Copies of this chain bind each other. A is one copy, B any other.
Amino acid sequence: MALEIKRVGEKKTDMKECSTKILAVRDALEIFSGKWKIPIIGALIYLETSGFKELQRMIGDITPKMLSKELKELEMNLLVKRTVEDTRPVTVTYSITEYGKTCQSVIFELYQWGENHRNKIKEEM
């Protein structure tokens, strides 16, 4: 199970081991958080490949600045591939990488939990 900590041994060891795990969780969280990461990933999975403007239209409200920034981060994390074709004017296409597709399972977990949570919270009111 998550964050399970053996109750044997000393506390400090356990908490240290735990901190390392927490770092991994935070890494994952950071990659997906921000207002636009998930929409972008979703759109790219849907479109498979897309230009900048097309992507912007698909997502809706995002400003070019934000789109550019988020795409850079996703690219750094190897989830998205940016390709420049040397036409005139230059054609730039973005596509999701095979590796990028592996995050679908995490996103799906988040979706399920979130969906369930919404109902839970509503019930309680």
CB within 8 Å of B: which residues of A? 1-3, 5, 14-15, 18, 21-29, 31-33, 35, 38-39, 41-42, 45-46, 58, 77-78, 99, 102-111, 113-115, 117-118, 120-121, 124
Contacts and interface: CB of A to CB of B under 8 A. Distances in A.
Contact of A113 (B22, B103, B117, B120): B103
Given A3-B107, A38-B22, A77 B117 contact: yes
Given A3-B42, A33-B33, A111 B25 contact: yes
B120 A99 contact: yes
Given A26-B114, A27-B114, A33-B33, 20 more contacts: A2-B104, A2-B108, A3-B108, A3-B111, A15-B58, A18-B46, A21-B111, A22-B38, A23-B114, A24-B110, A24-B114, A24-B118, A25-B107, A25-B110, A25-B111, A29-B33, A29-B38, A77-B121, A78-B120, A106-B110
B29 A29 contact: yes
List the number of copies, as a whole number.
2
A107 B22 CA distance: 9
Contact of A2 (B24, B78, B111): B111
